Structure 1
């Protein structure tokens, strides 16, 4: 990739075998940039990534994108990967956001990856390690909620680099969600609860097998909490397990579900 410092590793990747590229997966190193570079060169690691960023804004490439990096288990076949210097719980620096956006914009140009936040392993766009669940190694804390909350900003910057318009995360995108319904709240029987449930399913926060109902009940509340854990900027302040969705969260959820 132009702009990335080429630092090829001799081990811990599969030559060729990269299938149709669905997008880019964001990781956190849980360590230093130099330490990760060294670790990927050790046979004991059995791990690697295509790209890496430092907190100061360095961008390197360890593995050719025609080859399969060992980053997210079953996701290695169809996803590229970018490791970011930091620890669990950190947010990416402004420089790291720029570098990740550059990787995503280049992937869009090279592999026609859509500039959007992916809604799961079968989606396309910008994803994150934990979204793959056990099939991707069960790394539920990677890259952490703070980084997941920054994915929309990375997409926004990538769209600008690609020459398109990119509304902020609080503005409508190409999909206009239904108007937020007055009175929609947990434990209330509202016909629009079904609309919320369908969006939660489409975005991957509610199992598809759950039967839809008018009541905003426990299963819907649990799904909204999952959404808020991934996007904490939309939950009520001081409520780490907020089961209610507000107007901004409603809008963001519908874009994640349907703006593809």
Structure 2
């Protein structure tokens, strides 16, 4: 069985494929366009032809409807390769703090059980934390699901999942962004300082071999771009607040 501890197990008897999960490439975020209770009822209606592995409520509920060995019916061609999370709310919403925690818990569990990498992806053939609209027409053409505000929260979900895996207390925040853009300056003296050193240490911890010397050179810039690409950020080699936070 692949049922997540901590999630309320509320199995459905229709609208899924027993044993149909071929692989698990990652976790996909959805928005319900409704309530948790209404979605639960809809998934139990044979006419719906729809389901999801997990669902969150805005006040922090976490339900599991489908075992992750089985295929839920929620994202077209992506069904047999991705775990799905439906989130209570409507288009344009952000996830609540409690929903961010529940999504992070699912991602951390998927990392442990299904070897899902703790990274963002916008590629239906990629791996990590994705979102419904990234699949385009092949995934049902739901271009507004879950919406840009939730897509922008993917980085925060990954940060929280990493803290869960590391056993780090929730109140242990990464160092504050130093307030200046860290970047490689072509034809000028390199930026240097304690904040550059801290960033180089973060890159090394994130898996990018970087000399921790406090000087923002070509290697530091190249590894920054690699991290930005992995975390689905703008790939410019510049450490702003979003890139800084993604390093921890």
Q: Could you tell me the TM-score, scaled by structure 1's length?
A: 0.68
Equivalent of residue 99 in structure 2, options 71, 96, 99 = 96
Aligned to 2:195: none
Aligned to 1:76: 79
Equivalent of residue 113 in structure 2, options 94, 110, 114 = 110
Alignment of 1:1-260 (within 5 A): 1-163=4-166, 173=203, 174=206, 175=208, 247-248=238-239, 252=243
Deviation at 1:122, TM superposition (A): 1.2
CA distance in 2 between counterparts of 1:161 and 1:83 reads 21
Helix, strand or coil at the partner of 2:136:
helix
The 8 Å contact of residues 24 and 83 in structure 2, kept in 1 or not, is answered as: yes
Deviation at 1:176, TM superposition (A): 8.2
1:81-100 deviation per Cα after TM superposition (whole angstroms, max 9, x unaligned): 00000000000000000000
Residues 1:46 and 1:167: Cα distance change in structure 2 (over 3 Å) = farther
Deviation at 1:168, TM superposition (A): 7.8
Residues 1:145 and 1:77: Cα distance change in structure 2 (over 3 Å) = same
Q: How many residues align?
A: 206
Deviation at 1:45, TM superposition (A): 1.1
The 8 Å contact of residues 153 and 169 in structure 1, kept in 2 or not, is answered as: no
The 8 Å contact of residues 122 and 131 in structure 2, kept in 1 or not, is answered as: no
Deviation at 1:118, TM superposition (A): 1.8
Q: Could you tell me the TM-score, scaled by structure 2's length?
A: 0.71
CA distance in 1 between counterparts of 2:23 and 2:146 reads 24
CA distance in 2 between counterparts of 1:161 and 1:148 reads 21
Residues 1:161 and 1:12: Cα distance change in structure 2 (over 3 Å) = same
Deviation above 6 Å: which 4+ runs of structure 1?
Answer: 168-171
CA distance in 2 between counterparts of 1:143 and 1:248 reads 27
Helix, strand or coil at the partner of 1:106:
helix
Name structure 1 gaps, 5 residues minimum: 182-191, 206-226, 229-244
CA distance in 1 between counterparts of 2:27 and 2:11 reads 19
Residues 1:169 and 1:85: Cα distance change in structure 2 (over 3 Å) = farther
Deviation at 1:19, TM superposition (A): 1.3
